[in-house]
Structure 1
Amino acid sequence: MIRALVYLVIILLGLCVSPFLVGNKGYLYLAIGEYQIETSIFFAVIGLIIFYSLLQLVEFVMVWLFNLVLNSRYLPERWRRNAARKHTLLGALALAEENWPAAEKAMAKGAEKGEIPALNLLAAARAAHHQNNFQSRDEYLAKAELEPQAVKAVSTTRTRYLLQQGELAAAREELDKLNPTSKSKFPVLKLAIELYQAQQDWQALKLLLPIINKKHVLADEQFQALSLTTNTALLNQAGLANEQELEKCWHWLTRAERKQPEYIALYAIGLNRFERGDEAKKLLLKQVKAAPSAPILQALAEVISPADVEVKKQLLALETQYQDNLDYQVCLAKLYQKNHDFHQAKIWWQKACYLKDDRDNLHALADAQEHLGELNRALQTRRNAAKLI
């Protein structure tokens, strides 16, 4: 802006002085060695202006040439960077198309002079993994791991790939480096859930459940299903181990969980296995009288022995109350079948089948009919069961 004002002032001065110069040309004499120059002041000023303009032009050309020579040293590096950007773009497009060979090749080339080499290497590792080229994949990941900020991302990626590959031990070793805690990110926690389930490490998964619930890693339904699977597996393992492990596992459950019928049934079966049958039957009968459920009634049918006449009487006393309860009918049918009272077993299996046609119940009814010599009826019952397939 200032330069423009200066030029404007010079032009205005020139307009003001030009009439005077035209009318009074003046005289200028220059002697340089053997050369002599005689001219008017007007032409001398014009010559000076032209000389200054040429001098400025020469200066501009020299500066431009100098910059060109200076920058030419870095041209190959610039070309490589442009080529890396081009390869990265082609690799990203190939990844979108799931063209894994092309994606791996382009991303690997783009990593050489790319702006974010770790990103290219991780993409190349993904493409190699999808081609089952595990050696190249591991090489790409090892190079990407050299970037300090990418260490955790590489470790998470390696864990996921090893898990998908079926290398559970190696995946667990890599996951232990990440140390899943409440401070871990969602991808790490989800990997831990998947890997612990694959390894059936229910103890580790049980310790992780509070963190998963607190951080809402899973939806409520998914979390409830995972909790049920984990606690059920732990109770089954404890029930096969010893009484101390069973009690430890039972008290590891929360107060609300100790009221769930699935866990009560497994705990009662474990108690019965360790010669605490009376305690188990009392616990199950209490649940039956309060709110009968399939797990409780199934466990009761397994726990009660033929000698438990009193318990059976208590169950039969609830017939009027639970006459429309399918699980109640099945429980009594199994009890009579266990006592080899096939006549009563047939009656209760018929009641169960009347409430709902089920293949297993129909086959159990057919077994009772065969024991009673009703072969034709048993054959017809099995045909009816076959129609349910």
Structure 2
Amino acid sequence: MVRALVYLIIILLGLCISPFLVGSKGYLYLAIGDYQIETSIVFAIIALIIFYSLLQLVEFVVVWFLNMVLSSRYLPERWRKKAARKHTLLGALALAEEDWPAAEKAMAKGAEKGEIPALNLFAAARAAHHQNNIQARDEYLAKAQLEPQAEKAARTTRTRYLLQQGDLVAAREELDKLNPTSKSKLPILKLAIDLYQAQQDWQSLKLLLPIVNKKHVLDDDAFSALSLKTNTALLSQAAKANEQELEKCWHWLTRGERKQAEYIALYAIGLSRFERKDEAVKMLLKQVKASPSAPVLNALSQVLTPADVEAKKQLLALEPQYENSVDYQICLAKLYQQNHDYHQAKIWWQKACYLQDDINSLHALADAQEHLGELNRALQTRRNAAKLI
């Protein structure tokens, strides 16, 4: 709009000035060396305008021609980039369809001249991994690792694939290079959790637990289960090693954890193995009086022997309080069975089975009945156990 207005003003000015120019053409004399030019001012102005226009036209043609020549030199490069985009698209579609051979082939081709080669290489490595083509997978990851920003991602991916492959030693070497710390990303920490569990490296996992809890890598239930599994494994190993390791592991637990029934049971079993049975029995009985839990009652059935008459009396005195506790009935049944008192064992197994049908309890009851010569009842009890399968 503004340009049209400017043109209109120029035209109107030309219309206004043209009569004066026609009436007074003026005179122009130019001498350049041996050349002389005589003309009117109007013709000179018109000639200058035409010359400038031709110059602009020549400039436009020259620039256009140079651009065309320069662009034509890189046409094959453009074609390759266009082909790389096409292969990447085909590879992405093949990945979505889980057509692993086609995905690997297309992504590998797209990586050659792709805009983000590392992305294509990771996708090709994934496709190769699903085909169990280990050599090709590692080659793709090695190429992707050459990109500085993709180095950590390549190591993380390689660790995950090695873990899935079952090569725990090589996976651990890669994980150690990543060095899981509080500054590590969540995928690395999750890999560390899975790998430490697969290797049963409970010491390393125990050291990692505070970081996992702080960064909320797992939800509360999953973290509690992992902590229980780790601490249980460490206590079990320590109880089989020596007393010093057991004490070290026990005091490694937090004050709250040392009040948990699962850990108390394992610690007491360990103490009984190192000639500290009285301390173990006292600890377990104290816990039973506070609240009957399956781990503690099960530990009592392992720690107590026929010679521990006083401890059994204390346990029997709790019968009115725990008459509806299945774990309490099972504990007493096991203790009587250790004494080969099958008559009393049968009574307590019957009480346990009455409160809750359980295959193991039914088979234990059948064993007691067989020892007492009650073969028909034992056969019926085993039939009842078979119905629970």
TM-score, structure 1 as length reference? 0.92
Structure 1 residues without counterparts, runs of 5 or longer:
31-36
Counterpart CA distance in 2 for 1:172 and 1:41 is 91
Residue of structure 1 in register with 2:212 after alignment: 212
Residue of structure 1 in register with 2:161 after alignment: 161
The alpha-carbon deviation at position 83 of structure 1 amounts to 2.1
- 1:315-337, CA deviations, whole angstroms, 9 ceiling, x for partnerless residues? 11111111111110111111111
- 1:168-221, CA deviations, whole angstroms, 9 ceiling, x for partnerless residues? 000000000011111111010000000000000111101111111111100000
Counterpart CA distance in 1 for 2:215 and 2:133 is 36
Counterpart CA distance in 1 for 2:161 and 2:287 is 46
Residue of structure 2 in register with 1:252 after alignment: 252
Residue of structure 2 in register with 1:152 after alignment: 152
Counterpart CA distance in 1 for 2:80 and 2:62 is 28
3-state SS of 2:112 partner: coil
* Count of aligned pairs between the two proteins: 387
Counterpart CA distance in 2 for 1:20 and 1:77 is 61
1:177-216 to structure 2, matched below 5 A, reads 177-216=177-216
**Percent identity between the two aligned chains:** 84
The alpha-carbon deviation at position 47 of structure 1 amounts to 6.3
Residue of structure 2 in register with 1:284 after alignment: 284
Residue of structure 1 in register with 2:310 after alignment: 310
Residue of structure 1 in register with 2:63 after alignment: 63
Residue of structure 2 in register with 1:351 after alignment: 351
The alpha-carbon deviation at position 69 of structure 1 amounts to 1.4
Counterpart CA distance in 1 for 2:285 and 2:150 is 58
Residue of structure 1 in register with 2:275 after alignment: 275
Residue of structure 1 in register with 2:324 after alignment: 324
Residue of structure 1 in register with 2:33 after alignment: none
- 1:212-265, CA deviations, whole angstroms, 9 ceiling, x for partnerless residues? 111110000000000011111111111111111111111111111110000100
Residue of structure 2 in register with 1:172 after alignment: 172
Residue of structure 2 in register with 1:105 after alignment: 105
The alpha-carbon deviation at position 88 of structure 1 amounts to 1.9
Q: Cα RMSD between the aligned structures?
A: 2.7
For 2:151, give the aligned amino acid: V
Counterpart CA distance in 2 for 1:28 and 1:254 is 107
Residue of structure 2 in register with 1:18 after alignment: 18
Counterpart CA distance in 2 for 1:28 and 1:244 is 117
TM-score, structure 2 as length reference? 0.92
Matched, 1:242 2:260: no
For 1:276, give the aligned amino acid: R
- 1:109-157, CA deviations, whole angstroms, 9 ceiling, x for partnerless residues? 1211222222211111111111111101111111111111111111101
3-state SS of 1:305 partner: coil
Structure 2 residues without counterparts, runs of 5 or longer:
31-36
The alpha-carbon deviation at position 59 of structure 1 amounts to 2.6
The alpha-carbon deviation at position 349 of structure 1 amounts to 0.7
For 1:313, give the aligned amino acid: K
3-state SS of 1:111 partner: helix
3-state SS of 2:275 partner: coil
The alpha-carbon deviation at position 274 of structure 1 amounts to 1.4
For 1:120, give the aligned amino acid: N
For 1:11, give the aligned amino acid: I
Q: 1:250 to 1:23 in 2, by over 3 A?
A: same
The alpha-carbon deviation at position 11 of structure 1 amounts to 2.2
Residue of structure 1 in register with 2:367 after alignment: 367
Residue of structure 2 in register with 1:53 after alignment: 53
Residue of structure 1 in register with 2:334 after alignment: 334
Counterpart CA distance in 2 for 1:29 and 1:216 is 92
Residue of structure 1 in register with 2:34 after alignment: none
The alpha-carbon deviation at position 103 of structure 1 amounts to 1.5
For 1:299, give the aligned amino acid: A
Counterpart CA distance in 1 for 2:203 and 2:318 is 39
